[in-house]
Amino acid sequence: MERKVCVVTGSSSGIGAATARLYAERGWNVVVNFSREAAPAEAVADECRALGADVLVQRCNVADDADCLALAAAVQARWGRCDVLVNNAGTTKFVHARKLDGLDAEDFQRIYAVNVVGAFQMTRALEPMLKLSPSGAVINVSSIAASTGMGSSIAYAASKGALNTLTMALARALGPAIRVNAIAPGLVETPWLQNGMGAERYAASVEGYKARAALAEIIQPEDVARTAWYLGVDATKTSGEVLAVDAAIKLMPV
């Protein structure tokens, strides 16, 4: 049987890399995408190839519509199909919530350009192929920041709130051919927070998170990847939903 194709944006690291590996392991071909550094993407691609996948490595800044269209054209040329899109690429600025003057309009626009507009542009670019798939699905990687208002910055939390709304709007617009859902991870062990917070604050955050979460754990990239598989492949009657993968931290008082 012809292998299906999964495009994972921001898959040179963390959640995206784990998702690309999982789809490869389960018999799909994958696109590994990055915007800055090619070497980590090539390393993830090698892992996916070792799992049996045909892999396209594509530099694409999702904030740039021409890049998104070029990625879609490359997928069309390579396989002529796309079955699942995981809009995982994201960005932020680490600013304490009380420090309002630490954020300006440019910060909001840069963060929205990747986290919201990027997901929209990538979906629009791949829509023609997703529509032709017998099981087209889009998964947006959001965050619990969307519902708590907490996170690396107010601009980031607001962008993920917008991404949840985009998920609902696209689910309505693209059904019945394409399902659209989102995942809201809690604290995930990836370079994202480790680099953004510094080692000491990161370690304290991990301990604080474990102390508050009902499941007393932080999240691994593979936990999110398995949910991206569930929403992409198994959840055939679910669209427009946001599924938390947060070790149930929202059940506990802050």
DSSP-assigned letters across all residues of 119-169: HHHHHHHHHHHHHHSTTEEEEEE--THHHHS-SS-HHHHHHHHHHHHHHHH
Of the residues 80, 128, 149, 191, which one makes contact with ligand NAP according to CB under 6 A: 191
Smallest distance from the beta carbon of 85 to ligand NAP, in angstroms?
13
Other beta carbons within 10 angstroms of residue 178's beta carbon come to: 22
The answer to the question of residue 58 lying near ligand NAP (CB under 6 A) is: no
Which tokens hold the place of 248? 């149930």
The answer to the question of residue 140 lying near ligand NAP (CB under 6 A) is: no
Nearer to ligand NAP, 89 or 243 (CB): 89
Other beta carbons within 10 angstroms of residue 128's beta carbon come to: 11
The answer to the question of residue 19 lying near ligand NAP (CB under 6 A) is: no
CA 9, CA 118: separation in Å to the nearest integer? Answer: 10
Smallest distance from the beta carbon of 75 to ligand NAP, in angstroms?
15
The answer to the question of residue 61 lying near ligand NAP (CB under 6 A) is: yes
Nearer to ligand NAP, 12 or 29 (CB): 12
The answer to the question of residue 89 lying near ligand NAP (CB under 6 A) is: yes
User: Cα separations (Å) of 247 from 39, 48, 88?
Assistant: 32, 28, 20
Which tokens hold the place of 175? 């059904």
Smallest distance from the beta carbon of 242 to ligand NAP, in angstroms?
12
Segment lying near ligand NAP (by CB under 6 A), choices 54-62, 126-134, 166-174, 235-243:
54-62
3-state secondary structure of 93: coil
The answer to the question of residue 198 lying near ligand NAP (CB under 6 A) is: no
The answer to the question of residue 114 lying near ligand NAP (CB under 6 A) is: yes
| Residues carrying an active site annotation | 156
The answer to the question of residue 119 lying near ligand NAP (CB under 6 A) is: no
Burial label, 193 (beta-carbon count in 10 A; 0-12, 13-18, 19+): buried
The answer to the question of residue 149 lying near ligand NAP (CB under 6 A) is: no
